Amino acid sequence: MTGEKTEFKWVGTRAIRPDGHDKVTGRAKFGSDFALPGMLQGRVLRSPHAHARIRSIDTSAAEALPGVKGVITSADFADQSSELAAAGEALVNYRDMVRNVMAREKALYDGHAVAAVAATSAEIAEAALELISVDYEVLDHVIDVDLAMEPGAPILDEELEPAGMEASGPTNIAKRVDFDLGDVEEGFAKAEVVLERSYTTAAVHQGYIEPHAAVASVSEDGQAQIWCCTQGQFMVRAYTARLCGMETSQIRVTPSEIGGGFGGKTVVYLEPLATALSRKTGRPVKMIMSREEVFRASGPTSAGSMTYRIGATRDGVITAFEGTIRLEAGAFPGSPVQPACMCAVAPYDIKNVRLTGYDVVVNRPKVAAYRAPGAPISAFGAESIIDELAKELGFDPLQLRLKNAAKQGTKAAYGPTFRRIGFEETVEEAVASEHYSAPLGPNQGRGVASGFWFNIGGESAATVNITEDGTAVVVSGNPDIGGSRASLALMAAEELGIDYSKVRPIVGDTSSVGYNFLTGGSRVTFATGLAVVEAARDAVRQLCERAAKIWEVESDGVIWRDGHAVPASSNVGDFEPLSLADIAGQSPKTGGPICGHNAQNVQGAGPGFATHICDVEVDPETGRVTILRYTAVQDVGRAIHPSYVEGQIQGGAVQGIGWALNEEYIYNERGQLENPGFLDYRIPVASDLPMIETVVVEVPNDRHPYGVRGVGEVPIVPPMAAVANAIENATGVRMEHLPMSPPRLLAALDAARLPEAAE
């Protein structure tokens, strides 16, 4: 497929995004900016206990408060059977989902919803929450993944039956997964150097700046509309319909502009509650989470614990890799342990690999996807142990990666054989960069690390409507989370041969465009982009047919060139080229509206690889780490809009830096979250950072007409190990637990200094 197009007019330019003006003037409508006449305000009562049986809930006093129009609890939602149901490309368990949006038998985490109120004002709704009486039987709780796996740990769900393994009794282990390639025993037997290490990572929140928000309005005829900030309006429709016992077609979901998601808005929290409250009250209901609720009840990604063993020959060939990865799922099964295992050493051609993963429930919010789910966790350990191996072998860390790099034809431990990939190119660019050989000062160190993410395709539908004045409207169905309207419009302009400014892309609601799987998996520019390209080509076919009618020639006698219909050869006849506007203007006489369309389940996503270089300076007195310089190299396939490609890389790298250095949840002994705000859950701020240098490598994906791979996720995979490796080079201290915050690093530095002091 690739090679069709290598010269571009619009693709690769830094055009101004079509939604840009609305976003720099405050005009753009985000989740909480939407309002309807007669709208009620909804608020959620949340469990203050990490683990408690709910004996009873008395809502009568709240219902009696003037201004309160409705109160709901789990009794307002029918129970769901425990089975994995297809939801687009994803599999979900509605039994768990109905319990996560509203606790039933038990509250399973601090912040778990137990009731919700709709009232004429937010103040009244909040006052009503205080009047709801919940009789809790507080139970022992467990949050740490390793403790949750121990015998005698508090059990979240007595009925949980682990998949992929036998259990002798109640357990918190929801699933075991295994991946095997070659023969690890044989691989270790060949090894001349073997290292074994353990690592942990903290749970972190996606940290989108926009809290969840939804408005639902259910009409007397049972038809519902929902306006909300989400990564997938079709996902909201499907999940809300199921949880509220409605038909899918009864619900129309319009996505607002979305103020960040990073995977955290691929699930429902408020939408079913607002819909149930609207149905109960007969009024539109608006619900917004506070920042505290966002931290206590949404996200995060898993905390992880892993043990790795790696073996290599003295000449630098990695002969075996073995690991066990344990990930927290939160209150319900479903951590990203499978992708964590699959991505751990995917950049490398290792003949013998064995990875075992455990999905473990704990008393935290059910984890949600976070940018390359699972991969940053497993890669932190893998890229740290590979760095140690390089030191042990006397190898430059990038040269060791190059020597073992996966390439076209490499069989990955998780199954497939790679087609053309660009991992080696990212390492070679890093080696060649000026950054890699720049001098360092005292207390400074440089670290490198690499990363992998699959990228995905999935279901996409798009329409290209040719307007009567010769412009085009592109309708697609993925919320634009970081500039995707611009990339889709650039591709449509390229295919149609018209000016980018003549293309208007919009994000359709669930009733105005075919089904689109959600915005995630780095899929939109690739998969929905492919649907847009095909829809534009469909429009071009129709335009050529119309020109043939006008010229009264056979339709195969017309081709499309530079935005014009032209005769395919001089044999067809001598006609002046017809512009898109010429043909559009005559469309009523030649067959009516011209609408290109495409819908497909897109396959062939191209894997993404990245290699990062990080320089740090460590303050030996305080343990504070300053990021001095950072370079991210990534194979993107083809950069449709280079600025937004760079932006994805920079943003991902900085989220990884936050994960490395600062971000963690702090619980008290009762399992209550003590830092549910941006002051104490510290994401990186502008003064923490240098510029993030990017090197964009373009090894085209041969399964996309322009060569697009996904971009958004792989940049968060390398940073934690890159920072840890840099700290080790600066201080000689190897950090095996995240975050590497000042108190932790200072303790490690002190521990390393003690023997010297004693001498």
Minimum CB separation of residue 182 from another protein in Å reads 39
- Residue selected from 689, 736, 742, 746 as contacting another protein according to rule CB under 8 A: 689
Residue of 655, 519, 661 lying closest to 205 (CA atoms): 655
From the candidates 713, 728, 756, 759, give the one annotated as an active-site residue: 713
Instruction: Tell me the DSSP string of 35-75.
Output: --TT-EEEEEEE-SSSSEEEEEEE-HHHHHSTTEEEEE-GG
In this structure, are residues 309 and 342 in contact, taking their beta carbons and an 8 Å threshold? no
Minimum CB separation of residue 679 from another protein in Å reads 5
Instruction: Tell me the DSSP string of 396-457.
Output: -HHHHHHHTB--TTPBPTTSPBP-S--HHHHHHHHHHSTGGG----TTEEEEEEEEEE----
> Candidates 13-21, 315-323, 346-354, 544-552 — which segment interacts with another protein by CB under 8 A?
13-21
383 tagged catalytic: no
Instruction: To the nearest 10°, report the CA torsion of 71, 75, 81, 84.
Output: 20
Minimum CB separation of residue 295 from another protein in Å reads 10
Please say which residue, 33 or 63, places its beta carbon nearer to another protein: 33
In this structure, are residues 653 and 671 in contact, taking their beta carbons and an 8 Å threshold? no
* Residue 686 interacting with another protein (CB under 8 A): yes
> Candidates 27-35, 79-87, 321-329, 561-569 — which segment interacts with another protein by CB under 8 A?
27-35
Please say which residue, 211 or 739, places its beta carbon nearer to another protein: 211
Within residues 235-274, the interface with another protein by CB under 8 A covers 257-262
C-alpha neighbours within 13 Å on the C-beta side of residue 46: 24
Helix/strand/coil for 335: coil
> Candidates 79-87, 181-189, 475-483, 750-758 — which segment interacts with another protein by CB under 8 A?
475-483
Helix/strand/coil for 518: coil
> Candidates 271-279, 571-579, 602-610, 688-696 — which segment interacts with another protein by CB under 8 A?
688-696
- Residue selected from 590, 643, 675, 736 as contacting another protein according to rule CB under 8 A: 643
Residue 296 backbone dihedrals phi, psi, to 5 degrees: -80, -25
> Candidates 29-37, 128-136, 558-566, 664-672 — which segment interacts with another protein by CB under 8 A?
29-37
CA separation (Å) from 228 to 18, 235, 306, 395, 675? 21, 12, 37, 52, 26
**Burial of residue 204, with CB atoms counted within 10 A of its CB: 0-12 exposed, 13-18 middle, 19 or more buried:** buried
Minimum CB separation of residue 469 from another protein in Å reads 21
Please say which residue, 520 or 607, places its beta carbon nearer to another protein: 520
CA angle centred on 239, ends 235 and 242, rounded to 5°: 145
H or E stretch covering 578: strand 578-579
CA angle centred on 445, ends 734 and 626, rounded to 5°: 95
Minimum CB separation of residue 646 from another protein in Å reads 8
User: Residue 339, preceding bond cis, omega within 30 degrees?
Assistant: no
Minimum CB separation of residue 290 from another protein in Å reads 6
- Residue selected from 29, 95, 420, 549 as contacting another protein according to rule CB under 8 A: 29
- Residue selected from 357, 482, 497, 637 as contacting another protein according to rule CB under 8 A: 482
- Residue selected from 687, 755, 757, 758 as contacting another protein according to rule CB under 8 A: 687
Please say which residue, 198 or 290, places its beta carbon nearer to another protein: 290
- Residue selected from 58, 79, 123, 468 as contacting another protein according to rule CB under 8 A: 123
- Residue selected from 78, 189, 209, 432 as contacting another protein according to rule CB under 8 A: 209
- Residue selected from 8, 13, 33, 702 as contacting another protein according to rule CB under 8 A: 33
Distance separating alpha carbons of residues 234 and 240, to the nearest angstrom: 10
Distance separating alpha carbons of residues 143 and 330, to the nearest angstrom: 8
* Residue 138 interacting with another protein (CB under 8 A): no
Residue of 60, 200, 167 lying closest to 117 (CA atoms): 60
> Candidates 209-217, 301-309, 341-349, 535-543 — which segment interacts with another protein by CB under 8 A?
209-217
Beta strands of 246-361 (E only): which ranges?
251-255, 285-288, 304-312, 318-330, 353-361
Within residues 527-546, the interface with another protein by CB under 8 A covers none
Minimum CB separation of residue 689 from another protein in Å reads 6
Helix/strand/coil for 386: helix
For strands 608-618 and 251-255, give the pairing: unpaired
Within residues 644-683, the interface with another protein by CB under 8 A covers 644, 646-648, 650-655, 677-679, 683
Minimum CB separation of residue 16 from another protein in Å reads 5
* Residue 157 interacting with another protein (CB under 8 A): no
- Residue selected from 315, 571, 592, 685 as contacting another protein according to rule CB under 8 A: 685
- Residue selected from 628, 636, 692, 726 as contacting another protein according to rule CB under 8 A: 692
**Count of residues engaged in binding another protein, rule: CB under 8 A:** 59
Minimum CB separation of residue 644 from another protein in Å reads 6
Please say which residue, 27 or 314, places its beta carbon nearer to another protein: 27
Helices within 87-164 (DSSP H only): 94-101, 122-130, 145-149
Distance separating alpha carbons of residues 256 and 663, to the nearest angstrom: 28
User: Residue 37, preceding bond cis, omega within 30 degrees?
Assistant: no
> Candidates 42-50, 91-99, 334-342, 689-697 — which segment interacts with another protein by CB under 8 A?
689-697
Distance separating alpha carbons of residues 558 and 619, to the nearest angstrom: 70
Within residues 188-207, the interface with another protein by CB under 8 A covers 206-207
Within residues 276-305, the interface with another protein by CB under 8 A covers 288, 290-291
- Residue selected from 2, 10, 12, 32 as contacting another protein according to rule CB under 8 A: 32
Please say which residue, 288 or 748, places its beta carbon nearer to another protein: 288
Residue of 37, 511, 19 lying closest to 257 (CA atoms): 19
Please say which residue, 682 or 744, places its beta carbon nearer to another protein: 682
Distance separating alpha carbons of residues 509 and 512, to the nearest angstrom: 5
C-alpha neighbours within 13 Å on the C-beta side of residue 334: 23
- Residue selected from 19, 76, 271, 424 as contacting another protein according to rule CB under 8 A: 19
> Candidates 131-139, 145-153, 685-693, 732-740 — which segment interacts with another protein by CB under 8 A?
685-693
- Residue selected from 10, 11, 12, 17 as contacting another protein according to rule CB under 8 A: 17
> Candidates 168-176, 298-306, 346-354, 476-484 — which segment interacts with another protein by CB under 8 A?
476-484
- Residue selected from 208, 269, 370, 560 as contacting another protein according to rule CB under 8 A: 208
Residue 655 backbone dihedrals phi, psi, to 5 degrees: -60, -40
Within residues 374-413, the interface with another protein by CB under 8 A covers none
Please say which residue, 483 or 508, places its beta carbon nearer to another protein: 483
Distance separating alpha carbons of residues 437 and 444, to the nearest angstrom: 14
Number of neighbours of residue 751 by Cβ within 10 angstroms: 10
What is the binding site for another protein (CB under 8 A)?
14, 16-17, 19-21, 23-30, 32-33, 123, 206-211, 257-262, 288, 290-291, 481-483, 641, 643-644, 646-648, 650-655, 677-679, 683-689, 691-692
Enzyme catalytic residues? 713
